[in-house]
């Protein structure tokens, strides 16, 4: 697989390099130089999730990894299903929250961990990442217990939900969690400082495992095929998919699935009040505003870092940006949609409800609608309980971690202190 840097096209890397490096020069994102196209999609869809996903990923990766190796990676990464559920006539929910941390990030996080181990050539790796919740949990669980890989996760002390904290700060072994005296931006600034320190970077083999890593997007392509495989042909050939978006990795993966031949009629980019993209699609002006806090906090992003990949892909394929549906949804409206879905017999948290709302507004009668449910309702228990006046039960993985002891250490917002921690965990 060859990939190029979108900002500096002369930088070309292999799959292994792209996975190890994350970003290219000048903070440029990597993009595949060639996209295979599956001619017989029906035959592909007839296969089971793991072998089909291995075929898709192997076609992308090419001969850098053998087909058997890819099948093994995928088998290790995708150990949970991605079922669709009918919520009403012609409208389905795609449940992406059956992994160990109950959010769709488990797919990308686990495939990235397996890929990184496969391409690391035995060298030492330190994953350093900042999180405001979901990413940290997915990364921690994905890399837990892997040899030669240490994981250090920074998060703002007291600013993530206690349940989120329990989910990834109770693991131990090679997972080190650090509560920073500061906000999320302070955590991100520390991570950036570490990556700017080339001596440190080399010494401990720094890697960020964040959402710009191409391996994460590649894994996410697979569940769009999986969703279509569960529909009858007439339904899936008239398919509109609504994606609740923050950094726009999920939507990028969906568009890549379409480029590989999955017949998707239209995508909808659904956001919360952080509506940089819907406004851009409306006016053509890229004008990020300060990020605002919402009840769908995993989408509280005003400068989505995967957007350049969407522009690149649409340009390559000749898809006008005006073919993308869009919509932004307020907290009050998303609460309403959580209620609407509950009345239809479907329990949903705010991120999925946002996707449902925009889909419902824009779906034509002859079309089939699919909205992505990116997190388990219990992950946003406080909001869901309040909106529905319920006390929803914690699923087993959450309940287990909720009862465990926190293992995080506290740290001042200070780069030298962080450096000491990074060296200590080696």
Among 184-192, 239-247, 287-295, 311-319, which window interacts with ligand PLP (CB under 6 A)? 239-247
What are the start-end ranges of the E strands in 70-195? Answer: 84-88, 91-95, 125-130, 149-156, 175-180
Longest dimension (CA), the chain: 60
Q: Which of residues 66-125 bind ligand PLP (CB under 6 A)?
A: 103, 105
Residue 244 in contact with ligand PLP, rule: CB under 6 A: yes
Phi, then psi, of 12 in degrees rounded to 5: -120, 135
Residues in contact with ligand PLP, counted by CB under 6 A, come to a total of 16
Angle at alpha carbon of residue 152, lines to 304 and 157, rounded to 5° = 75
Instruction: Give the one residue of 53, 208, 213, 247 binding ligand PLP; rule: CB under 6 A.
Output: 247
Complex with ligand PLP: residue 16 or 244, whichever CB lies closer: 244
Distance CA 383, CA 108 (A): 26
Complex with ligand PLP: residue 211 or 242, whichever CB lies closer: 211
Residue 249 in contact with ligand PLP, rule: CB under 6 A: yes
Complex with ligand PLP: residue 245 or 276, whichever CB lies closer: 245
Complex with ligand PLP: residue 52 or 376, whichever CB lies closer: 376
Would you give the binding string for ligand PLP spanning residues 203-222, x where CB under 6 A is met? --------x-----------
**Do the Cβ atoms of 179 and 186 come closer than 8 Å?**
no
| Sheet of strand 149-156, all strands in order from the earlier edge strand to the far edge | 206-207, 125-130, 149-156, 175-180, 409-411
**Do the Cβ atoms of 362 and 327 come closer than 8 Å?**
yes
What's the closest the beta carbon of residue 308 comes to ligand PLP, in angstroms? 14
What's the closest the beta carbon of residue 374 comes to ligand PLP, in angstroms? 3
Complex with ligand PLP: residue 108 or 369, whichever CB lies closer: 108
Instruction: Give the one residue of 210, 250, 368, 408 binding ligand PLP; rule: CB under 6 A.
Output: 250
Distance CA 14, CA 405 (A): 41
Instruction: Give the one residue of 32, 100, 182, 246 binding ligand PLP; rule: CB under 6 A.
Output: 246
Complex with ligand PLP: residue 249 or 325, whichever CB lies closer: 249
Place of tokens 């824009």: 362
> Taking phi first (over 0 means left), then psi (-120 to 50 degrees means alpha), and beta for anything else, what does residue 141 get?
alpha
Distance CA 284, CA 277 (A): 9
Q: Is the torsion defined by CA of 69, 70, 75, 78 positive or negative?
A: positive
Among 140-148, 243-251, 287-295, 357-365, which window interacts with ligand PLP (CB under 6 A)? 243-251
Q: Which of residues 279-318 bind ligand PLP (CB under 6 A)?
A: 298-299
Q: What is the dihedral angle through the alpha carbons of 137, 141, 146, 149, rounded to the nearest 10 degrees?
A: 0
**Which contiguous run of DSSP H or E holds residue 243?**
strand 239-244
Q: Which of residues 131-170 bind ligand PLP (CB under 6 A)?
A: 134
Q: Which of residues 362-401 bind ligand PLP (CB under 6 A)?
A: 374-375
Residue 24 in contact with ligand PLP, rule: CB under 6 A: no
Complex with ligand PLP: residue 164 or 177, whichever CB lies closer: 164
What's the closest the beta carbon of residue 343 comes to ligand PLP, in angstroms? 22
What's the closest the beta carbon of residue 167 comes to ligand PLP, in angstroms? 12
**Do the Cβ atoms of 271 and 278 come closer than 8 Å?**
yes
| Strand-strand pairing, 266-271 and 149-156 | unpaired
What's the closest the beta carbon of residue 153 comes to ligand PLP, in angstroms? 15
The 3-state DSSP class for residue 227 equals helix
What's the closest the beta carbon of residue 362 comes to ligand PLP, in angstroms? 18
Complex with ligand PLP: residue 127 or 375, whichever CB lies closer: 375
Among 55-63, 231-239, 245-253, 272-280, which window interacts with ligand PLP (CB under 6 A)? 245-253
Distance CA 270, CA 242 (A): 7
Distance CA 242, CA 372 (A): 7
Q: Where are the alpha helices (DSSP H) in 2-88?
A: 15-21, 41-45, 49-61, 67-77
* Residues engaged in binding ligand PLP (CB under 6 A): 103, 105, 134, 211, 244-250, 298-299, 351, 374-375
């Amino acid at each position: 697989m060859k990939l190029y840097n979108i900002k500096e096209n002369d930088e070309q890397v292999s799959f292994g390099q792209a996975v190890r490096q994350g970003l290219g020069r000048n903070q440029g994102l990597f993009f595949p130089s060639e996209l295979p196209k599956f001619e017989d999609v029906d035959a592909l869809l007839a296969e089971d999730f793991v072998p089909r996903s291995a075929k898709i990923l192997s076609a992308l990766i090419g001969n850098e990894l053998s087909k058997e190796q890819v099948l093994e990676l995928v088998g290790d990464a995708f150990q949970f299903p991605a079922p669709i559920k009918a919520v009403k006539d012609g409208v389905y929910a795609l449940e992406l929250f059956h992994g160990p941390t109950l959010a769709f990030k488990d797919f990308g996080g686990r495939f990235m961990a397996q890929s990184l181990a496969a391409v690391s050539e035995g060298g030492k790796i330190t994953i350093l990442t900042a999180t405001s919740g979901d990413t940290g949990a997915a990364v921690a669980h994905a890399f837990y217990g892997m040899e030669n890989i240490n994981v250090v996760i920074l998060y703002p002390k007291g600013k993530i939900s206690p349940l989120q904290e329990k989910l990834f700060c109770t693991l131990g072994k090679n997972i080190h969690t650090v509560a920073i005296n500061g906000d999320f931006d302070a955590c991100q600034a520390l991570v950036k400082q570490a990556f700017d320190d080339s001596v440190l970077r080399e010494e401990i083999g720094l890697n960020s495992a964040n959402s710009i890593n191409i391996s994460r997007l590649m894994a996410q392509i697979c569940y769009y095929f999986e969703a279509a495989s569960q529909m009858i042909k007439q339904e899936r050939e008239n398919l509109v998919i609504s994606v609740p978006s923050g950094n726009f990795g999920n939507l990028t993966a969906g568009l890549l699935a379409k480029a590989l031949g999955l017949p998707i009629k239209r995508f909808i980019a659904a956001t919360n009040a952080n509506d940089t993209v819907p406004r851009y699609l409306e006016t053509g002006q890229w004008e990020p505003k300060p990020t605002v806090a919402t009840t769908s906090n995993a989408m509280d992003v005003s400068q989505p870092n995967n957007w350049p990949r969407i522009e690149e892909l649409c340009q390559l394929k000749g898809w006008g940006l005006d073919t993308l549906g869009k919509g932004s949804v307020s907290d009050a409206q998303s609460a309403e949609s959580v209620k609407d879905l509950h009345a239809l017999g479907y329990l949903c948290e705010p991120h999925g409800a946002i996707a449902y709302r925009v889909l419902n507004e824009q779906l034509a009668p002859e079309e089939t609608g699919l909205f992505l449910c990116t997190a388990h309702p219990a992950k946003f228990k406080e909001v869901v309980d309040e909106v529905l006046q319920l006390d929803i039960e914690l699923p087993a993985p959450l309940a287990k971690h909720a009862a465990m002891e926190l293992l995080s250490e506290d740290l001042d917002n200070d780069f030298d202190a962080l450096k000491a921690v990074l060296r200590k965990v080696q």
